[in-house]
Amino acid sequence: MQKTPFDKQAIILAALAHSNRIRIVEELRNGVKCNCELAPILKLEQSNLSRHLKILVQAGILISWKDGLRVNFKVANKEIFSILDLAISIARENISEHLVVQEEV
């Protein structure tokens, strides 16, 4: 069965629906990194990191390739950062509004 654009959109959003996966993508905002570099930066166990990286690659958010013993990762399309920037903007606005509502109560 062929996937619709809505199906593909849902796959991308589902892949981003975990804080560790967002942290991985944000870390790759600065360029290519090996999984061996990401694990200590993000303070994740290698097995946990690998699981998250696999989901991001399968969703088409990241591209991976081997370079000797290294497995490198980069963002497939930099437009993903627009999604993350918009999400953090909405989150900050929601937090700010929530604080205002609490002060009024």
Number of domains in the chain: 1
Q: Residue 68: inside a domain, yes or no?
A: yes
Residue 98 buriedness (CB in 10 A; 0-12 / 13-18 / 19+): exposed
- Residue for token pair 């490198």: 72
Residue 55 lies in a domain: yes
CATH code (residue 67): 1.10.10.10
**Residue 90: inside a domain:** no
Q: Which two tokens stand for residue 82?
A: 């627009």
Other beta carbons within 10 angstroms of residue 49's beta carbon come to 20
In a domain, 11, yes or no: yes
Tell me the pTM: 0.88
54, part of any domain: yes
Which pair of structure tokens corresponds to residue 77?
A: 């399309």
In a domain, 85, yes or no: no
Strands 33-34 and 62-67: unpaired
**98 in Cβ contact with 92 (< 8 Å):** no
pLDDT in tens, the chain (105 residues): 788 999 999 999 999 999 999 999 999 999 999 999 999 999 999 999 999 999 999 999 999 999 999 999 999 999 999 999 999 999 998 877 766 555 555
Which range marks the domain in which residue 30 is found? 5-77
Residue 102 lies in a domain: no
> Looking at the domain assignment, is residue 89 inside a domain?
no
Q: Which pair of structure tokens corresponds to residue 75? A: 């963002």
| d(C-alpha 82, C-alpha 103), whole Å | 32
